[in-house]
Amino acid sequence: MSVIVGRALPDARDGLKPVHRRILYAMHELGLTHDRPFRKCARVVGEVLGKYHPHGDTAVYDALVRMAQDFSMRSPLIEGHGNFGSVDNDPPAAMRYTESRLQALTTNALLQDIESETVDFASNFDGSQQEPTVLPARVPQLLLNGSSGIAVGMATNIPPHNLGELIDGLVAMIHNPEITNAQLMQYIHGPDFPTGATILGTSGIRDAYMTGRGSITMRGVANIETIEHRGRPDREAIIITELPYQTNKAALIEKIAELVNDKRIEGIADIRDESDRDGMRIVIELKRDAYPRVVLNNLYKQTPIQANFGANMLALVNGEPQILTIGQFLQVFLDFRIEAITRRTRYELRKAEERDHILQGLLIALSHLDQIIATIRHAADAPTAKGELITTYGLSEGQADAILQMQLRRLTALEADKIRNEHEDLQVQIADLQDILAKRERILEIIESEVTSLRERFATPRRTLITHAEGDLGDTDLIANEKAIILLTKQGYIKRMPVNTFEAQHRATRGKAAAKVKDDDTVEHFLTCCDHDSVLFFSDRGVVYCLRAYQIPVGSRTSRGTPIVQMLPIPREEKITSIVPVDEFSSEEYLVMLTKGGNIKKTALEAFSNIRSNGLIAISLEEGDQLRWVRRAKVEDSILVGSRHGMAIHFRCTHDQLRPLGRATRGVKSMKLKKGDELVGMDILPAAILETFAAASEVEAEEIEAPDNADNIEVDTESEETTEVSETASVGPWVLVITMGGYGKRVPVAQFRLQNRAGQGLMATKFKNRKTKDQLATLHIVNNDDEIMMVTNRGIIIRQATNAISIQSRSATGVRVQRLDEDDAITGVAIVPPDAEGTEVAEVVEGAEGAEVE
């Protein structure tokens, strides 16, 4: 019981254990305030040992040192001068060398009014001195600096908090006594550790605040940077600038080195501690073939760069250990503060009344001055004079003593006026103090004004960043859900750009540069989505990774982007072959996957709702095969697959044609290819469109067939459309066919009849000039109000409305959709859907026809 109450656990009122309270009170008695010179710590320790704390000097000095460490206390209570240890766990210098004094916050917020009978005092260990049982704290110090201690059968571990947030929460409780813990969390967001770092998610904070127990995950701040070496190639490095609370930096570096030597972490070439007085900097240099994100994730998993703070909010309330919620902490403190101000007011009222009583006696003496002087002169001695004054004028003993001790200079008229004015001021003060004692709201106003002034003087910005985990109020609640373009180059550079970076242009214009690619790099993947979407990245070896769209860094039109290896743990030899944006992981949707070898399979979309940080197997591949295209589809939809030589097959997505399979399966054959041909793309035809056009007559399909001499017709930007369009075909949707040579057309979907899977398919297009070796780049299902964005392998993007591209038959060659430089080719096409509100697509830029755009 002695250990529980008298040593290991803090008091919920001032947040101090006895040893800390005795150190602060001893320093206060020595006059070691923040505006006085430092004194040797040995002097302070001796004072504490001799008067209040009969234990070892090491225990006292260690407690004093911790109260001066800015990496241990969020708001240190003692100002140290000398070596007080470091975050590397270096020991402090001996107490004969170091000096200390109280911080301004300690004097103003913990020890103010201690002489005004605000707290109880008790005898020390030998009865020779009085010591306070608690300090009259003006701020909730227990939450401000936290506490940890191991008693008998119980332990406490309370994290530190931000002073400004605590005071905001306290003021909110004063204004609303019925405030809940959840409402308090709007003011007190979570712990604020002196070493900064980040807290992952708010569920642990919520548990700690609601129940008194919770595990709070802390993670150091680490960034991936490129370090330049003179005469050597640049290398990636992980730079750690902040560590979790109570993490030993030297031990951490030693632990990392040990893991590297044991080959439990691969990819680290060198570790350096470049920390100085300006801040922490640990440099972990990586090998050239290392994957920075993988190494960093391993460091989080295997080292104290990520650690848990097990909050156990246990404190003494009325001498009994209790687990408290955040609201109970503040309520206990508020009740204590109300009691302290009540006691202080009573003390000030008593002193004011005693002083006024004396002044009333002096005023009586001044009104009968001559008689009182005569009485005193004729008295034999002082006791006789005192007795006659009490008897004659009805004075008290105190008043009589004050009259006898009054100096002659106070008999002047000026001094008499001062006494009368002081008496009148005291009457006003006494009435005000009595009003404070009578009205609880006056006491609460005093508390609020005191903490507000402390907040203005001592509050500092939050150091610990709280990141929101799944289920919390996350970044998506704070980021506008704008449309965006995502580009990924062949060499692995990724970036995100707003769709409005590119306004719509006429067909057959040159477009705009979208990426500053190297000579040997090309734009490989290109899609549009919304910033809140989850973006699934499928690799050639059948693994899927996930990022939220807003997590992809925004880049300008001319920037290269960010290496994707810094964002996803992708091995160097692995390539991203398909990117799918998902706004909701619905149980009614499937992902249809098509491999280079022609295997196709359908897997439920919800199977990919929880993708691990190191990826998830999406498809099992035969040796030499690669996963190439992934699209979202429903059971009622149909699938259109195109080949490089201009063939296309159209079959249903129903379970009889394509049964759903699990993730780790291979799939079935999609299309029979001729020698030298290969697949180039796949798109999904929605069920509603399929029903509309499945009933289209063969006659209607014949109406739009090109004339016999279609191959000889010159089709250019300036040429008129050569085909007539039926009423149904003019409504859409269409199959948009784009060739690598810059030609395109819209073909009514009715012309692609449904077939069984694994057939040869139908001709989708004829090529303008066989000598140019033009090939099919892609095919897409488009609607009348869609816009498309095309990108070339040199990073040129053009955005245009689909209705600018003419409707032609399967056997036509199309019209020019983009003018290409020599050796350039279209590599990707993305659909820009209309706004959700139904607003019109961007206006076509006037005069852009044929103009060269920079």
In DSSP terms, 379 is beta-bridged to none
Angle at 308 (CA atoms; ends 306, 313), nearest 5 degrees: 155
Q: 720: which DSSP letter?
A: P
Residue whose C-alpha is closest to residue 729's, from 803, 631, 834, 645: 803
Q: How many CA atoms lie within 13 Å of 801's alpha carbon, on the beta-carbon side?
A: 13
User: What's the rounded Cα separation, in Å, for the pair 250 and 462?
Assistant: 26
Residue whose C-alpha is closest to residue 218's, from 90, 311, 285, 150: 311
Residue whose C-alpha is closest to residue 6's, from 138, 136, 131: 131
Q: Counting Cβ atoms within 10 Å, is residue 169 exposed (0-12), middle (13-18) or buried (19+)?
A: buried
Q: Count how many residues are written for the chain.
A: 854
Pair of tokens at residue 527: 């899609």
Residue whose C-alpha is closest to residue 104's, from 147, 66, 139: 139
Q: How many CB atoms lie within 10 A of CB 491?
A: 16
Which amino acid does the sequence have at 477? D
Which residue in the list 25, 97, 209, 550 is annotated as catalytic? Answer: 97
**Cα 562 from chain centroid?**
21
Residues 6+ apart with CB under 8 A from 11: 17, 21, 134, 142, 315, 316
Query: How much of the chain is helix, strand and coil, in % rounded to 5?
Result: 30, 25, 45
Query: Cβ(554)–Cβ(495) under 8 Å?
Result: yes
User: What's the rounded Cα separation, in Å, for the pair 429 and 853?
Assistant: 81
Residues 6+ apart with CB under 8 A from 84: 65, 68, 69, 92, 93, 98
Which amino acid does the sequence have at 56? G
Residue with tokens 């109570």, as numbered in its chain: 246
User: What's the rounded Cα separation, in Å, for the pair 16 and 8?
Assistant: 10
Annotated active-site residue 97? The verdict is: yes
User: What's the rounded Cα separation, in Å, for the pair 75 and 457?
Assistant: 13
Which amino acid does the sequence have at 19? V
**Residues 546, 548, 553, 554, CA torsion sign:** positive
Residue with tokens 């996803």, as numbered in its chain: 568
Q: Phi and psi for 360 in degrees, rounded to 5? A: -65, -40
Residues 6+ apart with CB under 8 A from 157: 147, 148, 309, 310, 311, 312
Pair of tokens at residue 809: 């038959």
Active site residues: 97
